[in-house]
Structure 1
Amino acid sequence: MTSPTVSREAYGEASARLAAETATATAPQLVTVADEILSVAGLLRSDLRLRRALTDPSRPGADRAELIKSLLSGKVSKATVDTISTLVTGRFARPGQLLDATEHLGVDALLTSAERDGKLGDVEDELFRFGQISSGDSALAAALSDASASLSERVKLVEDLLKSKTQPATFRLVEVALTGFGGRGFAASLNRLVEATAEKRDREVAYVTVAKPLTEAEEQSLAGKLSAVYGRDVSLKVDVVPSVLGGVSVRVGSDLYDGTVQRKLNAAKQAFA
């Protein structure tokens, strides 16, 4: 998993190093590495001077690697030190890209841990369901998105809601969303993490809005049609919204297919306006 805002070459080399270093790691061991990498991301987020020093184009890559090694060695695992030192030898157009890349590496390690534990599909569904719950409760959505509240307060709120009710990776990924994954707001971060989880499973995500629940046969039929269009398996994320009245709306990436009665009524109103 990568992002259009990070140096693809640097990210690719660091991702390959992480995969090599953790090739035989167990799921719990990968969780530890992921937590370490995300802690490094937290350090970078809070220290602009460090981000600038680690992305300074006038400084040789080897020097930047030695700087991060001096900060991390003895505090985190060898896999984390080697991965981050590999990352900082690359070139980034701006300091924020290094933070983005580090976050992506931590998230990918978490997803790999869930994959090795056979729980990746559960994590994807749990992230989506929590997104539905939070967006459907205006007070909860406001509390989770409130940048003026401390991160620890919002994490405690999520912990009260999710601890022991979801996969550990799900809880940790929601924490990542609270910090603003890739510079996004909470809701957008959560959606991106759902999509990243699907990508890890080599799937597209289709957000489906309907007035009433689809039957299992209808879901299978829709998933099959979308898979044929996109050339890969599709994960349906169905949201039941009675106000759409009927029909179905489907969004896959930037593609939107809106056949709801609500849309047709709105179009008719505009035509007569």
Structure 2
Amino acid sequence: MQAASRESYYAARAALGSPSIEAGEQILAFADLLAREPRLRRALADPSRKGDERAELARNLLAGKVSDAAIGPIGALAAGRWSAPSELLEATERLGVDALLAAAQSSGDLVEAEDELFRFGQIVSGDPKLTAVVGDSSVDPARRVVVVRELLEGKTKPVTVKLAELAVRGFGGRNFAAGLTRLVELVAERREAEIAFVTVAEPIDEASENRLASSLANIYGRQVSLKIIVNPAVLGGMSVRVGSDLYDGTVARRLADVRNALASR
């Protein structure tokens, strides 16, 4: 988002107060409405209209349909200045996630939600049949959401189910795997931690995990949560990704470097 849009998003986030899972769902439902209705999206981001007028339009549209915990932040979004209608949509979706995470933080569920989301992604990626349903964007999103609910409801935290559904619907325009990964990172950000995605050929012991987490915490100046991905194709060594930083010391990477060096001679 550009600067003006970021300021508007932060203002709406400040209006969240103490939201519930329900409020998060309602804000995300409004984001779905904006995605389906480009005319509404343009009207609520129109710089030629006063912010109060746009906020009133949103409140009138949603009156009696959403809770007070949702209508306030949505009104703040509509009153904001947006560099483009698409950035209003992006901010609304992100605000819905913020509301879900704030509710999970209040109930002490953030750490479990982070782990559950990551494990669910690993389960899906490790099962070709499940990947073909959950991860295939050509399959009706409503059908994929039903599958996610059947897999997760009653077995994970409520916020985990809602976030997994959002990943299936294409959070931020991403595919399922990328959307789920970003949501795991946002959960960690909420509890002021970094996520390190660690790929190894075989599982590592607890002592090695603790040493790696400590080393990364020293580098990034904050707690680091490791997410271990076992992939025999890397052959050996370790690949670590923290945000946009990648440390690839796998055998597969070193062999590829050697092949590239030989090919360039």
Report the TM range for the smaller structure's normalisation.
over 0.9
Classify the secondary structure of the residue corresponding to 1:67.
helix
CA positional deviation for 1:133: 1.5
Note if contact 2:137-2:175 (Cα within 8 Å) is conserved in structure 1.
no
Distance 1:143 1:6 in 2: 39
Q: Which runs of 4+ in 1 moved over 4 A?
A: 3-6
Note if contact 1:6-1:98 (Cα within 8 Å) is conserved in structure 2.
no
- 2:213 is the counterpart of 1:215: no
Name the CA shift for 1:5/1:163 in 2 (closer, same or farther; >3 Å). farther
Aligned equivalent of 1:162, options 152, 157, 160:
152
Name the CA shift for 1:116/1:62 in 2 (closer, same or farther; >3 Å). same
Normalising by the residue count of structure 1, what TM-score does the alignment of the two structures yield?
0.92
Q: What one-letter code is carried by the residue in structure 2 that aligns with 1:90?
A: G
Distance 1:4 1:242 in 2: 41
Classify the secondary structure of the residue corresponding to 2:15.
helix
Q: What one-letter code is carried by the residue in structure 2 that aligns with 1:108?
A: D
2:62 corresponds in structure 1 to: 72
CA positional deviation for 1:72: 0.9
1:238 corresponds in structure 2 to: 228
Note if contact 1:207-1:238 (Cα within 8 Å) is conserved in structure 2.
yes
Instruction: State the Cα deviation string for residues 3-35 of structure 1 (Å, max 9, x = none).
Output: 66981111111111112xx2xx6xxxx111111
CA positional deviation for 1:243: 2.0
2:91 corresponds in structure 1 to: 101
Aligned equivalent of 1:13, options 4, 11, 14:
11
1:205 corresponds in structure 2 to: 195
Classify the secondary structure of the residue corresponding to 1:148.
coil
Classify the secondary structure of the residue corresponding to 1:7.
helix
1:255 corresponds in structure 2 to: 245
2:178 corresponds in structure 1 to: 188
Structure 1 gaps, min length 5: none
Distance 1:149 1:241 in 2: 27
Classify the secondary structure of the residue corresponding to 1:246.
coil
CA positional deviation for 1:129: 0.9
1:128 corresponds in structure 2 to: 118
Classify the secondary structure of the residue corresponding to 2:156.
coil
Classify the secondary structure of the residue corresponding to 1:166.
coil
RMSD between aligned alpha carbons?
1.6
Taking every aligned residue pair, what percent have the same amino acid on both sides?
54
Which of 227-236 and 86-95 deviates more? 86-95
CA positional deviation for 1:143: 2.0
Distance 1:175 1:5 in 2: 30
Distance 2:70 2:97 in 1: 13
Note if contact 1:37-1:105 (Cα within 8 Å) is conserved in structure 2.
yes
- 2:132 is the counterpart of 1:142: yes
Note if contact 1:6-1:101 (Cα within 8 Å) is conserved in structure 2.
no
Distance 2:192 2:118 in 1: 17
Aligned equivalent of 2:217, options 227, 246, 251:
227
The alignment covers a number of residue pairs equal to 263
1:272 corresponds in structure 2 to: 262
Classify the secondary structure of the residue corresponding to 2:54.
helix
CA positional deviation for 1:238: 0.5
Note if contact 1:6-1:100 (Cα within 8 Å) is conserved in structure 2.
no
Aligned equivalent of 2:27, options 34, 37, 55:
37
Q: What one-letter code is carried by the residue in structure 2 that aligns with 1:61?
A: G
Q: What one-letter code is carried by the residue in structure 1 that aligns with 2:37?
A: D
Note if contact 2:2-2:83 (Cα within 8 Å) is conserved in structure 1.
no
CA positional deviation for 1:261: 1.2
| Aligned pairs for 1:106-117 within 5 A | 106-117=96-107
Which of 179-188 and 133-142 deviates more? 133-142
Name the CA shift for 1:42/1:156 in 2 (closer, same or farther; >3 Å). same
Which of 157-166 and 61-70 deviates more? 157-166
Normalising by the residue count of structure 2, what TM-score does the alignment of the two structures yield?
0.95
Note if contact 2:116-2:160 (Cα within 8 Å) is conserved in structure 1.
yes
CA positional deviation for 1:43: 1.0
Structure 2 gaps, min length 5: none
